[in-house]
Amino acid sequence: MSEAKITTLSEFLHQSGAKYRVFDMGRRVTKLTADEFVNFEWAKKPYPLPFQRSALFGVIFWHPEAAEKHYVWFLTFPLDEQGLLIQTARDEFLMMLLERVGECMLAATDGKQIEGALKDSPYTFTPREDKMAAFNAHATKSLALKASPFYPDAYAYFTGKKPMDSWQSLGMQGVADVAVRLDDNLETLGLIKTIPRLPEEPFNVLCTFLENAAPSAGIVEVLAQRLDVRLQEKKPDISMISACLRAASNSPATGLVDQMVAHVLQHKCSQSIEILAVLSGRVWRSLKLPHLCKQYVERLAMNESGYDVFSQLLADLMFVPGMREPVMQALRDPQRSQTLSKFVGKMFG
């Protein structure tokens, strides 16, 4: 086997005899399919979830004959204007990898050699603590492994079996495990009953991890109720509104999520930069609807900080695959406001 035959990371792992899973680590932690990853590596399709014009992902791999030993690399690669992989970066990364561990990486008996292979590489990064917890939760579930030791206490708390004021003893990893393992019907029903009663801090932490999961319609309904209560206040809590949106953002109950977005965009609080950033950075799926996209760009034109935020958030949103066309249609609307028209002229003129 010659090094010239290895042109992608997936080929390298395959020829090393490794099994692997890939998880996006940018906008949210979510599993990438084998096709998504291979098409990205061959620059056949844009990266599905770009973040700041980069692809950020975690790769967990192992040898079938030593399945208890898992290794993890967190990698980031730059993307071109179309969201495709810049292949020279990938090639440089592979050359470094082949130099340090050779072609048959998993033949190495020294685990430290594998883990340290990418030390000082410009293509590695260290995830935030919450992203790491979400990654661990997804990885253990994907590999049919037990949840962390923190899971039982978090499960008991969020299903209402522990006092609501006992949240300070919970481990972050346990909350991440609860969010990812919601396919347990009893857990889902317990969480639906508990969410309306949760104190703000544990509710915020739960929402941080629900955005990396796919909560059911029942959970989104109670999130929507909590959101609507906040919207009726004289001075709505922006962080709580953002938390509700983030938590619901990846739910398959898209109609309910769209309703939440519509309610927020009808409220003056949607001029907040935090809420505008959450809508474009997490709930962009709803903004594919023409009427919601039109409302969004109008609110964005009225944001608290003016043109700079307008251009930054729009540029990021249009970089997401499938979002450029609906955004451009909204910007071209002949009924757009004078403020939006002024910003559009500045952006394209």
- Is 217 a domain residue? no
Number of domains into which the chain is organized: 1
- Is 64 a domain residue? yes
* Alpha carbons 57 and 55: distance in angstroms, whole number: 6
Segment (H or E) for 325: helix 324-331
Count other C-beta atoms under 10 Å from residue 126's C-beta: 8
- Is 63 a domain residue? yes
Work out the burial of residue 245: count CB atoms within 10 Å of its CB; fewer than 13 is exposed, 13-18 middle, 19 or more buried: buried
* Alpha carbons 249 and 263: distance in angstroms, whole number: 14
Q: Which domain holds residue 103?
A: 3-115
Of residues 257, 306, 307, 249, the one with CA closest to residue 283? 249
173 and 133 Cβ atoms separated by less than 8 Å = yes
12 and 94 Cβ atoms separated by less than 8 Å = yes
- Is 87 a domain residue? yes
- Is 189 a domain residue? no
Q: Which amino acid is at 8?
A: T
Hey, what are 195's tokens? 């969410």
The single residue listed with the structure tokens 């906040």 is 230
Instruction: Compute CA distances 163 → 149, 197, 224, 251, 332, whole Å.
Output: 20, 11, 24, 28, 53
Buried b (16+ CB within 10 A) or exposed e, 18-39: bebbbbbbbbbbbebeeebbbb
Of residues 256, 310, 253, 319, the one with CA closest to residue 284? 319
* Alpha carbons 56 and 26: distance in angstroms, whole number: 5
- Is 57 a domain residue? yes
- Is 78 a domain residue? yes
Per-residue pLDDT tens digits of the chain, which is 349 residues long: 344 478 899 998 888 888 999 999 999 999 999 999 999 999 999 999 999 999 999 999 988 877 788 889 999 999 999 999 999 999 999 888 888 776 556 555 455 666 677 888 899 999 999 999 999 999 999 999 999 999 999 999 999 999 999 999 999 999 999 999 998 777 899 999 999 999 999 999 999 999 999 999 999 999 999 999 999 999 999 999 999 999 999 999 999 999 999 999 999 999 999 999 999 999 999 999 999 999 999 999 999 899 999 999 999 999 999 999 999 999 999 999 999 999 999 988 7
pLDDT for 18 equals 86
Work out the burial of residue 234: count CB atoms within 10 Å of its CB; fewer than 13 is exposed, 13-18 middle, 19 or more buried: exposed
* Alpha carbons 41 and 255: distance in angstroms, whole number: 33
pTM of this structure: 0.92
Q: Which amino acid is at 123?
A: Y
- Is 107 a domain residue? yes
Hey, what are 338's tokens? 């004078």
Got the DSSP string for 203-219? Answer: HHHHHHHHTTS---HHH
Count other C-beta atoms under 10 Å from residue 99's C-beta: 10
Rounded to the nearest angstrom, the gap between the alpha carbon of residue 20 and the centroid of all alpha carbons in its chain is 20
272 and 238 Cβ atoms separated by less than 8 Å = yes
Of residues 54, 45, 123, the one with CA closest to residue 91? 123
